[in-house]
Structure 1
């Protein structure tokens, strides 16, 4: 309540008359606050250590103006009674400091005003303005540097948040200081106007209301007005010095006293000072009793600092030598899950001085993957490697390479997505897009407009690498989930759905079992971005069985609509491919893996199925779904995951009853494809 009460007291000072004793107390408080602000500003190690200074300056200025209003009221009302009519503080400043001569007081006040407003305040305001401009201009670069550091794994997410907060506070601080300097300038102008009002009004009231002569009125009222102005100007000058000290600070590990003292501790600067002072003292017209002692003091400082610099540096404690045969766990293990290795010809893509485009792309795909999969991916690591070619890159997942490619650092990749006009005339080095295996050309950047006009999609090397990494990580997304990510997901849901978590974890599913189930679901295309419906299905499935395969099948059957939504828009017909009954029966009645109990598909049969599925995908010009009996789903899904990635393998139990389908092919039969109508309400009821 101190701050609201203090602000209310300022309005009381402006509106209500107060006794001279209380006015003296507030004057002393004003001086104490100004000195305290100056000391805090001088002891701050960096400007942000006193980030509240603009607000403090505002309240201190309001306090001083409120005291000016209160003192003006007392001076004009009681000034005819004598020097102590407005309190002892104003009388002391008016009599003792300027010897009772109001003319001297006026000149002293004007000099202080000039020093405050023209020298200190104007200089501090200019420094604040320039600092604010440079800080705001550098803000995007600092934010990009933070993103680059977190993408490279140099800092943690908490450290990144702290640095972003510091950057924001720094920009706000210098912007506020730019405006706060106007408070001091306005206060100086207000002090001059208040002094003029006190002098003119004092003359008028003394001569008209109290019958004083012009000399008596001038002696009483002008002396009090000058004392009042000096009382207000001294704290104003202290605050101006504090503002200038804050904005002219250079960030250092020491406070201002330590910074200045450390930089003046060089003995080489004091010997010339001593010699020059001694030389000036030898001039006959100069006061030798002043110059010679000053030269002696400077010489003593030089000698003392020279002796201190000549002392041997303190001996540091010997560092324990590491035995050459000692091996730590950090020397043989890499804690980073995803690593992007670059050849030396691609290292410039992560150079901060050149914008680090690859770092920005990698950060973007990490955010997008985290958003799509429903858990925060561990930080990626980008490093150079001599194990790959100069223009080659490699993406490692858990130390295993999942992607490898080549990028031309000074060229663009023009990709033929199927919209390129025949006879385009674009020349370049022929290649294939590593992400989608489309025909492409490495072209000069100058030919970009030509490539775009011919229908090519042009991307830079950093985008090629990031897109390739994104596609391969999506194919292996289940390997990105570990117990730590599952624990973070469970802890987050405990606050929102505690009963749902209690039904699953830790009984009947421990952390390892829950991680295994989540990995299997992600591998099947069910992300964790919306965990509550998924966990509800999992909890219901666990009430029926705790067998791993049966639980996965039950959850997939409950989440069938989500699976279909990956390849089919709401309300559209799902393009379906089925197996001939004889072929499906042969698969289910054939050999079985004794370890898993799943059907084994013969290589020739598997190749035929994959070839026919890809043919139907090309004819349908889009993804299709292969509908099979539940026992055959896993075997066929494993078969087509690598050979026909655009085919979604579903069991008949996972197909929602209201989903309209269009059969585009029957594999293993000669009958043509036919179309099934959307199920009617009578059929569904049956």
Structure 2
């Protein structure tokens, strides 16, 4: 059956083409005309039953085939009419019975049908198809980005994302094809007019000149058959034009056209009642027949009594009678696999913190976590995975745990009924003394009703949800590189490909694999560098990868391309960049100690030199922090990678940048110089 179906369409199209040149018997022509009319009616009915245009995606091609078949039937019928004066029972019936044997009546009906099809339906459908194609193509980038955003947010999985992308592409292809198909319908209407005029003139000429008929007899024999032939062609053409208009004006819904029509027109009974009263009121106009308007008005009033005003309901709310979906058995493979799955980021809360998650009880923690994901994405360029939040009855009261790739990364407490007051002068307030979880500042959990007193004492007051969210944000920033997976890098690459395809095509997979790009991005995140500017990052990688694929070299090339964007976060409000520098001879000594290893560049220094370096940086950094300053250590690009790797291990709060990354617009202020012997200030 499958092979027969595949062969039927090609055979049918070839047969239609042959009809243009091969004469057909009148009996076969009658059969094909019947197939044409019924087939057009079927297409119209199917177009009324679909719920969205893509459900009838073959329609543009079907329009072309139907148009070609009508033209082939026109040629075959014209050949029979002009040669035999007879073109089968169907055309004869249309020429005599339908139009009463009158040439004038036939021409008038033909012209009216042509005007309806060409001027009204075809032109309107063509314009709607053109606008629909333009709007669909313009909306494609936005729809693709929305799908990627839902995928990154964890609202859909990769399979659903692929399905949605294919639907967006199919929709654009469909409306583009419909724009062209509407031209077929329009051309068919024009061809029908021209063919009919030619047949009228040709039939009259054949009858009078070749067969010696009187003019009246020639008109009766040939012209009536020509008009009948035109009507036989125009009826299926009108059905196809109507189907085209229905398809391009159809909006996606949950029902077919008939169901939507009854549902939406009868949604409220008031308009139906008013229409019935208005119909009866027309009976008061003198001269108008009263019976038709009384019948119509009475029918509308009767329908109004049967209708009920539709009440707005929440479509997402479950029906009372709906059965709950069957839960997987605890020992089933699906349940075991689900428990085995390790989420990149999890938040466990104790039983008394569930209220922070429950929106029905006023909890806003989940909304804050969503906002955090957006904020982190804008700051670092990393779209962190969906945070899985769950309660754990085994946790002590008021405690929460942040898990990273299945390992506890941080813990904290958030006692119920309290707020966190951060400050140094909180002895006069009751509560439990603690440390702020991110910066380690002195703090105290005080009763929520004493929030005003804590603020008057000069403390910064933070609610419980903000404490957890801030702690989670810090864990994410410190472990951003660990959260950037291979699939995340693929999404980022595809995002750049849509706007800058040449950049991606040059870089991957020709020069670097996806894994190598991931390592570079992870190295940048490890050092607190935002990866938002992916275009410049990829361009720098393309240039450097042609020379070497060493990760440290790739990272330094990217940092050089980003330039001042790296040091900008450390520039103060008064446009000052506070720096710690190295004494030149000491920096040269560090440069000579750089060694290349499998893990990257390292400094091969003795313990005493490392101690001098760390102690010198620590002294200057501590003094700067007492003045509320955030300095950076500046060095040459050749030693930066190795020095940064050492400093991150012993002094993680100090950032190391190179001279090429210093902002040109900021005013440089040196806080001290580190030498091989001591720190110079």
Specify the TM-score bucket, using the shorter chain as the normaliser: 0.5 to 0.7
Q: Give distance in 1, aligned partners of 2:225 and 2:596.
A: 104
Q: Tell me what 1:65 maps to.
A: 71
1:160-559 alignment runs, 5 A limit: 160-265=161-266, 266-306=268-308, 316-317=320-321, 336-338=343-345, 347=371, 350=374, 358=378, 361-362=381-382, 380-381=385-386, 397-398=405-406, 400-401=408-409, 472-474=479-481, 529=515
Normalised TM-score (structure 2):
0.54
Q: Counterpart of 1:15 in 2: which secondary structure?
A: coil
Q: Give distance in 2, aligned partners of 1:126 and 1:94.
A: 34
Q: Counterpart of 2:82 in 1: which secondary structure?
A: helix
1:24-173 alignment runs, 5 A limit: 24-79=30-85, 85-173=86-174
How much does 1:350 deviate? Answer: 3.3
Q: Give distance in 1, aligned partners of 2:553 and 2:308.
A: 83
How much does 1:129 deviate? Answer: 1.5
How much does 1:206 deviate? Answer: 0.9
CA change 1:564–1:192 in 2 (3 A) is closer
Q: Paired residues, what number?
A: 430
Q: Please give the per-residue CA displacement for 1:590-622, whole angstroms capped at 9, x wherever unaligned.
A: xxxxxxxxxxxxx9689569979x99x979536
Q: Tell me what 1:425 maps to.
A: none
CA change 1:303–1:96 in 2 (3 A) is same
Q: Which moved more, 1:121-130 or 1:108-117?
A: 121-130
CA change 1:475–1:346 in 2 (3 A) is closer
Q: Please give the per-residue CA displacement for 1:123-173, whole angstroms capped at 9, x wherever unaligned.
A: 111111222222222111111111111111111111111111111111111
CA change 1:624–1:18 in 2 (3 A) is same
Q: Give distance in 1, aligned partners of 2:380 and 2:637.
A: 38
Q: Tell me what 1:650 maps to.
A: none
CA change 1:68–1:268 in 2 (3 A) is same
Q: Give distance in 2, aligned partners of 1:103 and 1:607.
A: 108
For the 8 Å contact 1:113–1:233, the answer to whether it is kept is yes
Q: Give distance in 2, aligned partners of 1:219 and 1:359.
A: 85
Q: Is 1:22 equivalent to 2:28 in the alignment?
A: yes
Q: Counterpart of 2:386 in 1: which secondary structure?
A: strand
Q: Give distance in 2, aligned partners of 1:287 and 1:31.
A: 38
Root-mean-square deviation over aligned CA pairs: 5.1
How much does 1:50 deviate? Answer: 1.0
How much does 1:469 deviate? Answer: 6.5
CA change 1:624–1:337 in 2 (3 A) is closer
CA change 1:618–1:267 in 2 (3 A) is closer
Structure 2 portions without partners, runs of 5+: 1-6, 312-317, 325-334, 348-364, 390-401, 411-471, 488-512, 517-547, 555-591, 598-605, 618-632, 653-681
How much does 1:528 deviate? Answer: 9.8
For the 8 Å contact 1:151–1:362, the answer to whether it is kept is no
Q: Counterpart of 2:156 in 1: which secondary structure?
A: coil
How much does 1:2 deviate? Answer: 1.1
Q: Give distance in 2, aligned partners of 1:475 and 1:44.
A: 48
For the 8 Å contact 1:24–1:89, the answer to whether it is kept is yes
CA change 1:470–1:186 in 2 (3 A) is farther
Structure 1 portions without partners, runs of 5+: 80-84, 321-327, 364-378, 385-393, 403-464, 483-526, 531-562, 580-602, 626-636, 646-686
CA change 1:338–1:346 in 2 (3 A) is closer
How much does 1:37 deviate? Answer: 0.6
How much does 1:287 deviate? Answer: 2.3
CA change 1:147–1:205 in 2 (3 A) is same
How much does 1:472 deviate? Answer: 4.1
How much does 1:473 deviate? Answer: 4.4
